[in-house]
Structure 1
Amino acid sequence: MNQAIIVYILALILLLSVLLKMRVRLQLSRAKHGSLRGHSKWSRRMARLVPFFSYDDAVFFISDGAPANIGQQRRLALAELEKSINTQCALTLAYCEQLESSVSDLQFTSHYRIPFPYRNGLPKCFKLGSIADETKGSKIKDLDGNWRYDLSGSYGVNVFGYDFYKACMEEGINQTKQLGPVLGTYHPLINDNVEMIKQISGLDEVSFHMSGTEAVMQAVRLARYHTGKSHLVRFCGAYHGWWDGVQPGVGNTRVTHDVYTLADENEHSLKVLATRKDIACVLINPLQAFHRNNDAPADTGLLASERKTGFDKQAYSRWLARIRQICTERNIVLIFDEVFTGFRLAYRGAQEFYGIQADMVTYGKTLGGGLPIGVVAGTHQLMKRFKLEQPAHVSLARGTFNSHPYVMGAMNVFLKRIQSAEIQQQYQQSEALWNSRVAYFNQRLQAEKLPLKISNIHSILSVSYTLPSRYNWMLQFYLKNHGVELSWTGTGRLIMSFSFTDQEFKEVVECFVSAAQQMQQDHWWWQSPQLSNKTIKRQFLSDMLSAKFPMIAGLLPRPLLALEKQAQQMRAQQNHLTKPVN
């Protein structure tokens, strides 16, 4: 009898344990975003299953179901644009092509500027990147002498304009050139830099690293070291550098099991933070407020016209305040990843912009005054890399080029210059200024009846498309032809420096208007009643499944009904034109 009771109790305990684990698992599942971005393991699995397929010459120009005459006009327009760019940029393109086979980054960006089915049909000149040899103010010059307004922002480095950073670099090197590349021994300027960063971050200690990714790695490592907990929380779509420890989905070749990807602005996510005992830190990318639960917008993903951006400062500030409270209560380290947003959103960065004090902050990019840098700032407790009572229990982090004298010099000039009355006034006015500029931008687009809309978070802008289209990615090439330099991600992220005057901003707007008008005249935004974002996505899915499973291709629905017939007609016309005469 006693044995039976013991067995019953053990079975009950086991059942309760299983039910508790199921409840915890369900709670975590509910906190994930419903998209593949919110499920890292599934996103990796699905990425491996996506087959490459390419639209041939007949389909390339009418993949939206446009009639043959529209396809022909697009073909002629692309040839004219190709001719113009080849003429404008002959030296730059030749130099870039020479590098492509030897520079892996260039190979990657040349393959991921547009949706992959169109890649093979795009002329070479559109795929290649840029080579530049001079900058001035808000502009950049390629090897052919073409000056363009720079909206690439040097990946976020260029907050104040290129002349500002060239002066920081020159003055900083002049202050440190007598020491040269001495590593391990500090240049005395480091003390000034540390004190200024402490004041800006509101934190106690500073460590220097070579890049923003490295700074994030160190912050996460220290959070785990001091809390003794294993997992970090990131929010769906947020980018924290290329380290696989904070990028668990597509792009990560190492399987990680110590990262929770939760939905942004989600009550279930807060419940996970408030109840789990294994969370060491929460990583916040302040820019994620601009495209919550979505990856950073890029033209390679412009399959239709469903780019989602938008910013509600008050709502996101309230969200961060709730996270701050839970992190304090649960001994979770709150890390602000300010590598991109630091010194842009406000003098004290996102902490000032949103009114939240973090436990640790990572900086990079612009803080180096034009030279490479990564910085971690944190409390005394979190920054310590050893335990006095356990001398062998350390968290080792060193780097050969940390605190390089030239970087310390440029950083010193940068930090002192942004304290000037002129730049402090600029900070006070900049949020309202950029909001008003974007409002003017949208007024111009609306007045010209162009299918574009601009959204922004401060001086970071993004282009959305208001009509269904499969060819929105073409706009980046028209913009280049009209004097605007973008990064390889295209129209998804336009990073503008504070050096843009009102007149220069208006000139950029006119470049956009002219480029979009030409693109519209070339019929890339052709419309029909059957064309919708839904039918575009269904067509793409059908094309992808046909490539993956050719045996069922004829059974799949084709929502853009005219496509196959038109493609066949165009192939027949081409075959007739190329058929040899007896």
Structure 2
Amino acid sequence: MVEPIKNITSAPEISREKSVELYAKAKTYFPGGVNSPVRAFKSVYGTPLFIKKGDGAYLWDADDNQFIDFCCSWGPLILGHNHPSIREKVMDVMQYGMSFGAPTALENELAELILSNNSFIEKIRFTSSGTEAVMSAIRLARGYTKRNKILKFEGCYHGHTDALLVKAGSGLVTFGETSSAGIPEAFAKETIVIALNDKEALQKAFEEFKDEIAVVIIEPVPANNGLLLQHKEFLQYLREICTDNGTLLLFDEVISGFRLSFTGASGYYDIKPDVITYGKIIGGGLPVGAYGASAEIMSNISPEGAVYQAGTLSGNPVAMAAGIAQLSELVKPGFYDDLNRKTEVFVNNLLQFIKERNYPVQIDQIGSIFWFAFTTQGTIRRADEIDPASMENFKKMHRELLNRGVYMGPSGYEVGFVSAAHTTDILDKAKQAIFDSLDVVFNG
């Protein structure tokens, strides 16, 4: 039984004095005062919080405010902040040097750990970021198929590569339109954009551009523009139409990889793409990415093949060490069962409260990922189904949560993550803060 609403008042504002001072100084150094746009807090209230420390499920900012963290460095901190196994492994490796630009045994160790527990890929190439991994995978697909066009889905984000930083134009099937200055129109014209969850558009695209599409790229769990969960049937159809047309299927698992399970969304849905990309989770949150495929497809990568890709920091020993420590924890029996079950209980408790209060909120969840959608229409599967006006409610909730000691990503289009460090007691505290915040949003 949910407690009746009483004493609906906003929580006292946290101190941001030092963060405000740091932000003012940062604006003299960096465009907008930040080194990545969403950090500027433009979609929520107040100035950005400058983080000083993270430990377990908690963050502390420059003003010593403490928060339960559901951002987890945008997902990769699946063990929480400052995990002792990762910290100790990194410190042990660092005493011998931090960058060589040459092979190390650590690369072999991390690759073996990944490949021996993931039947969806046979060979892998490490990069320094998820964006770099996707860019390289696209080049590989074009080189392998000898085709130029890319098909992507509106609402899926694949990093800031020119050819993929595009939005949909008008019509069922359309060439992408540049969504950033500095991207030549000719680049975007090689990218076809269609809506998610639309078989008709997919069929039409392959009819119009037969034998021209090198690769179809999708987040199998779209989680950069809300959590736009797809039916398995749609992903399976995508696999089949790519096979029938000699087009490679690329699963961008920078978020879902090693998050839903050790084999990511590929394993969750039991669908084998031709190429998979991964992000910072394989480096314990340090700057790293990777792409993998069959040995036959990967043989096209230089120096074995003609598709060139390189990087001085690829396979960086510090990132490899962090990855070995993190993935060694993830591969332990029961890890994902415990994490996903804990998240499901947490979300179901929130949904029960929302139902009893009759609030217009939907929480979608898969594995340890969740998303607040201020709607009554049920699961949202396409970007154009999100009402931009609903973000005002998230904006209010975000302020209330910060003032109650809960940190979420500063945009209503971002998802939340539960880590192994989020105990039942911590989740119960967060749950109450969310209850109170929603009461303020809808009754305050």
Whether the 8 Å contact between 2:133 and 2:278 is mirrored in structure 1 is yes
Match of 2:31 among 71, 80, 104: 104
Whether the 8 Å contact between 1:234 and 1:282 is mirrored in structure 2 is yes
Report the CA distance shift for 1:270/1:128 in structure 2 as closer, same or farther (over 3 A): same
SS at match of 1:395: coil
User: Which residue is 1:457 aligned to?
Assistant: 366
Alpha-carbon distance in structure 2 between the residues aligned to 1:387 and 1:439: 49
User: Which residue is 2:43 aligned to?
Assistant: 114
- What does residue range 551-562 of structure 1 map to in structure 2 within 5 Å? none
- Using the TM superposition, give the Cα deviation of residue 209 of structure 1 relative to its aligned residue in structure 2, in angstroms: 0.8
Match of 2:112 among 195, 199, 215: 195
- With normalisation by structure 2, the TM-score equals 0.83
1:354-399: CA deviation from partner (whole Å, max 9, x where unpaired) = 11112111111111113110111112222234699xx9x8322111
Alpha-carbon distance in structure 2 between the residues aligned to 1:282 and 1:341: 17
SS at match of 2:313: coil
- What does residue range 562-581 of structure 1 map to in structure 2 within 5 Å? none
The answer to whether 1:516 aligns with 2:441 is no
- What does residue range 2-401 of structure 1 map to in structure 2 within 5 Å? 84-85=12-13, 88-104=15-31, 106=33, 108-109=37-38, 113-114=42-43, 126-164=45-83, 167-175=85-93, 177-183=95-101, 185-202=102-119, 203-249=121-167, 251-253=179-181, 254=183, 255=185, 256-272=188-204, 275=207, 276-288=210-222, 296-297=225-226, 311=229, 316-385=231-300, 394-401=306-313
SS at match of 1:376: strand
Whether the 8 Å contact between 1:150 and 1:485 is mirrored in structure 2 is yes
Letter in 1 for 2:153: F
SS at match of 1:287: coil
Letter in 2 for 1:501: T
- Using the TM superposition, give the Cα deviation of residue 199 of structure 1 relative to its aligned residue in structure 2, in angstroms: 2.6
Alpha-carbon distance in structure 2 between the residues aligned to 1:386 and 1:239: 24
SS at match of 1:454: strand
Alpha-carbon distance in structure 1 between the residues aligned to 2:69 and 2:391: 26
Alpha-carbon distance in structure 1 between the residues aligned to 2:310 and 2:225: 31
Alpha-carbon distance in structure 2 between the residues aligned to 1:385 and 1:257: 25
Percent identity over the alignment is 23
SS at match of 2:276: strand
SS at match of 2:215: strand
Report the CA distance shift for 1:130/1:277 in structure 2 as closer, same or farther (over 3 A): same
Report the CA distance shift for 1:386/1:99 in structure 2 as closer, same or farther (over 3 A): closer
Alpha-carbon distance in structure 1 between the residues aligned to 2:326 and 2:133: 19
Alpha-carbon distance in structure 2 between the residues aligned to 1:239 and 1:449: 33
| CA root-mean-square deviation | 2.8
- Using the TM superposition, give the Cα deviation of residue 466 of structure 1 relative to its aligned residue in structure 2, in angstroms: 4.9
SS at match of 2:256: coil
1:293-320: CA deviation from partner (whole Å, max 9, x where unpaired) = xx714xxxxxxxxxxx6646xxx22221
Letter in 1 for 2:320: M
User: Which residue is 1:482 aligned to?
Assistant: 404
- Using the TM superposition, give the Cα deviation of residue 149 of structure 1 relative to its aligned residue in structure 2, in angstroms: 0.7
SS at match of 2:349: helix
Corresponding pairs, count: 405
Letter in 1 for 2:336: Y
Alpha-carbon distance in structure 2 between the residues aligned to 1:178 and 1:470: 48
Q: Structure 1 residue runs of 4+, over 6 Å off?
A: 467-470
Whether the 8 Å contact between 1:176 and 1:187 is mirrored in structure 2 is no
- Using the TM superposition, give the Cα deviation of residue 246 of structure 1 relative to its aligned residue in structure 2, in angstroms: 1.2
Alpha-carbon distance in structure 2 between the residues aligned to 1:370 and 1:173: 15
- Which is helix-richer, 1 or 2? 1
Alpha-carbon distance in structure 2 between the residues aligned to 1:318 and 1:200: 25
SS at match of 2:355: helix
- Mean alpha-carbon deviation: is it higher for 91-100 or for 353-362? 91-100
1:390-414: CA deviation from partner (whole Å, max 9, x where unpaired) = x9x8322111211111112112222
- Using the TM superposition, give the Cα deviation of residue 520 of structure 1 relative to its aligned residue in structure 2, in angstroms: 4.1
- Using the TM superposition, give the Cα deviation of residue 138 of structure 1 relative to its aligned residue in structure 2, in angstroms: 0.8
- Mean alpha-carbon deviation: is it higher for 446-455 or for 137-146? 446-455
SS at match of 1:345: coil
Whether the 8 Å contact between 2:16 and 2:49 is mirrored in structure 1 is no
- Using the TM superposition, give the Cα deviation of residue 328 of structure 1 relative to its aligned residue in structure 2, in angstroms: 2.2
Whether the 8 Å contact between 1:173 and 1:410 is mirrored in structure 2 is no
- Mean alpha-carbon deviation: is it higher for 217-226 or for 439-448? 439-448
Whether the 8 Å contact between 2:126 and 2:314 is mirrored in structure 1 is yes
- Using the TM superposition, give the Cα deviation of residue 169 of structure 1 relative to its aligned residue in structure 2, in angstroms: 3.6
- Using the TM superposition, give the Cα deviation of residue 334 of structure 1 relative to its aligned residue in structure 2, in angstroms: 1.3
- What does residue range 510-549 of structure 1 map to in structure 2 within 5 Å? 510-522=432-444
Report the CA distance shift for 1:235/1:466 in structure 2 as closer, same or farther (over 3 A): closer
Unaligned runs of 5+ residues in structure 1 are 1-76, 116-125, 298-308, 523-582
Report the CA distance shift for 1:176/1:204 in structure 2 as closer, same or farther (over 3 A): farther
- Using the TM superposition, give the Cα deviation of residue 286 of structure 1 relative to its aligned residue in structure 2, in angstroms: 1.8
Unaligned runs of 5+ residues in structure 2 are 1-8, 168-177, 377-388
Letter in 1 for 2:345: S
Letter in 2 for 1:337: D
Whether the 8 Å contact between 2:27 and 2:33 is mirrored in structure 1 is yes
SS at match of 2:77: coil
